[in-house]
Amino acid sequence: MKSTQRILLIEPPYKAKYPPLGLMKISRYHKTKNDHVIFYKGMSAEVRDAGWDKIYITTMFTFEWKTTIETIKFYQREKHKKAEIIVGGILGSLLQDEVARETGIIPHFGLWDEIDNLKPDYRLKGMDGYYTNNSSFGYTTKGCKNRCSFCAVHVLEPEFIPFIPLGHQIDKNKRDLVLLDNNVLESPQFSHIIKEIKKYGFEKGARFGNSYRYVDFNQGIDARLLDEEKMRLLSEIALNPLRIAFDNINLEKIYVEKIRLAHKYKITNLSNYILFNFNDTPEDFYRRLRINIDLNEELGSSIFSFPMKYVPLNAKDRKYIGPKWTQQRLRGIQCILHATHGVVGPRRPFFEKAFGKDENEFKSIIELPEDLIFHREKKTTDFNLS
């Protein structure tokens, strides 16, 4: 009989909103073999030297290079020198050669099909620190046919898979469902996907005990592919929020049209990702945020925006400055978003105090010295985000 292996799963100590899904699936894989599995976030000599057969280290964004490499090198100093160290994930795939040169380890590239098709191990200890610990995670599709230059999906998931069953991914003891599809509306089986979601208890108004359930297509949906029939289907599930990307001011007409369509189908809790520092200008960025404020007042909706600073796919830090931006302007936005915890709320009074009443005032604000940005009229941290 094959002896039980000791398996250590490591996530570097960077900030992470969601649990490391890949490691949760690796845990499932090894537990089916009756292996002993431990998860740890960060670096611990005591954990490292406890005697392991394999150490898996996940990686996330490339700009976490320093922390990630420090973590890999730390576990390479494992006392017994017998553990096989396996590196995977986004950074490991996109900077595979650089990681190999730095550590001598060639990371696994892209998806690991044997692992990726497994149900996550929702009972893996150490996952309580993530705010989504009452959620199942899954995919109903994989990949994206768009090849946006600011996105790595077409590199990591080159094949678009139009349908993946949900049943084996869901934990019936979890209230909510977070779906990580990169472009679900591309699927010709979208209506079937909605039926799947409802089949497993996530129809509109569904409850879990005394609480309402929610479904979150967390990566956002493509407004260009959203028509009335698809909006009607989305309105049949416990969607909260509806996330729509608004990455380019040239999409304003389409974006506004789809927000109004959402209102028609009584979808009023919305969120969007606002890419900046790419090919946009500060005026473009302000205008996209302002459009949401105007739509909130017109429709009575609640749209929360999440600005996302662009960095190149191979960047090892977050210092990149877009062609129409400056270091001062980016720092100014960082100061404002620090006070708002990265969120732009739906209320006009807050928005205008934080970002200005018009584009010119906005540009003046983000070019102020840091201390003055924080202390205009009263501390920005006193603003009500609701």
> Model confidence over 159-195: pLDDT tens digits?
999 999 999 999 999 999 999 999 999 999 999 999 9
Report the sign of the C-alpha dihedral through residues 309, 314, 316, 320, in that order: negative
**Would you state the pLDDT for residue 2?**
61
On the question of pLDDT at 383 being above 60, the answer is: no
* Higher-pLDDT residue of 374, 203: 203
H or E segment to which residue 355 belongs: helix 348-355
Whether the upstream peptide bond of residue 241 has omega within 30° of 0, thus cis, is yes
Domain made up of 6-114: CATH architecture: 3-Layer(aba) Sandwich (3.40)
How long a stretch of residues is the chain?
Answer: 386
* Higher-pLDDT residue of 133, 30: 30
* Higher-pLDDT residue of 80, 197: 197
On the question of pLDDT at 381 being above 50, the answer is: no
pLDDT digits (tens, 9 = 90+) for 261-307: 999 999 999 999 999 999 999 999 999 999 999 999 999 999 999 99
Give the residue from 119, 102, 115, 129 showing the smallest Cα distance to 54: 115
What are 382's two structure tokens?
């006193």
pLDDT digits (tens, 9 = 90+) for 209-240: 999 999 999 999 999 999 999 999 999 999 99
pLDDT digits (tens, 9 = 90+) for 57-78: 999 999 999 999 999 999 999 9
Give the residue from 226, 255, 248 showing the smallest Cα distance to 239: 226
Domain 134-240 CATH class label: alpha beta
Q: Strands, E, within the chain: which ranges? A: 6-11, 36-41, 54-57, 84-87, 135-138, 176-179, 207-208, 211-212, 215-217, 242-243, 269-276, 302-309
H or E segment to which residue 264 belongs: helix 252-264
On the question of pLDDT at 374 being above 80, the answer is: no
Please report how many Cα atoms fall inside a 13 Å half-sphere around the Cα of residue 237, on the Cβ side.
Answer: 29
Q: How far is CA 133 from CA 16, 55, 173, in A?
A: 13, 24, 11
pLDDT digits (tens, 9 = 90+) for 295-332: 999 999 999 999 999 999 999 999 999 999 999 999 99
* Mean pLDDT for the stretch of residues 73-95: 96
On the question of pLDDT at 384 being above 50, the answer is: no
Q: How far is CA 339 from CA 63, 180, 253, 335, in A?
A: 22, 28, 31, 7
Q: Where in the chain is the domain with CATH 3.30.750.210?
A: 134-240
CB of 242 within 8 A of CB of 184?
Answer: no
* Higher-pLDDT residue of 130, 332: 332
Radius of gyration of the chain (CA): 22
**Would you state the pLDDT for residue 132?**
80
Question: Which DSSP category does 75 fall into?
Answer: H
What is the side-by-side order of every strand in the sheet holding 269-276?
Answer: 242-243, 269-276, 302-309
On the question of pLDDT at 377 being above 80, the answer is: no
Q: Where in the chain is the domain with CATH 3.40.50.280?
A: 6-114
CB of 268 within 8 A of CB of 299?
Answer: yes
What is the residue-averaged pLDDT of the chain? 94
Three-class DSSP category at 164? coil
Q: How far apart are CA 148 and CA 159, in angstroms?
A: 15
* Higher-pLDDT residue of 254, 377: 254
Q: How far apart are CA 82 and CA 201, in angstroms?
A: 46
On the question of pLDDT at 108 being above 70, the answer is: yes
